[in-house]
Structure 1
């Protein structure tokens, strides 16, 4: 099964996956990929342009390979704000969409305390997009201690 986990930055997507995935499952997460591609001491949420470009290419390759094995393993894919083309692909693959959103106030507080100020714009964009779509979160669970 393909699980596509969406939600705002600092919403608890990784924590949701930790609670549901098994050691044998495949987890595709830009933060984890960027961390694996950078040296010691790099920030956990690395927004460096070159790092993001390389990590994005690795992510695309990982997705393309992982979906070939959906009959063998579950795949958990974090995609904060998938566009129409990605959503169509996920539908074709029979993905289960999971929205993890603890609420805008909680997310904004987490971003203020843990992330760069640039992420605040992504939070605003995410909430505008999902309000327009009329989407409701699948879970409003709390995530890790922030």
Structure 2
């Protein structure tokens, strides 16, 4: 099964996966990939643009490969705000789309505390899209902080 975990930055998407995935499952998380490609002491978030680009290319390759094995393993994929094209692909793969959203106030508070200011724009865009109605999304709360 493919699980596509959406939600604004700092919503708890990684925590949701931590609570549901097993050691045998495949987890595709751009932040984790970027950390794997950077040196000691690199931040968990707010990555440098080149590191982010390299990780993004690896993420696409990982998605393509992992989706070939959905009959053998579960795949958990973080995709903050999938486009219509990506959503169509996920639908073809019978993915379960899960939106993790503890609420705008909580998200903005976490972004202010842990993330770069650019993430506020990403979160605002995510909430704007949600108000417009994203079909096929099952809301879930994140963990208690």
TM-score, normalising length: structure 1? 0.94
Do the aligned partners of 1:46 and 1:52 also contact (CA within 8 Å) in 2? no
Do the aligned partners of 1:35 and 1:46 also contact (CA within 8 Å) in 2? no
In structure 1, runs of 5+ residues without a counterpart are none
1:77 matched to which residue of 2?
A: 77
Q: Determine if the alignment matches structure 1 residue 25 to structure 2 residue 29.
A: no
In structure 2, runs of 5+ residues without a counterpart are none
Number of positions where the alignment pairs a residue of Structure 1 with one of Structure 2 = 144
- The CA RMSD measured in Å over matched residues stands at 1.3
**TM-fit CA distance, 1:142:** 2.8
Q: SS of the counterpart of 1:97?
A: strand
TM-score, normalising length: structure 2? 0.95
For residues 60 and 31 of structure 2, the distance between their equivalents in structure 1, rounded to whole angstroms, comes to: 14
Deviations 1:73-112 (A, max 9, x none): 0000000000011000000000000000000000000000
For residues 42 and 134 of structure 1, the distance between their equivalents in structure 2, rounded to whole angstroms, comes to: 34
For residues 10 and 90 of structure 1, the distance between their equivalents in structure 2, rounded to whole angstroms, comes to: 23
Q: SS of the counterpart of 1:138?
A: strand
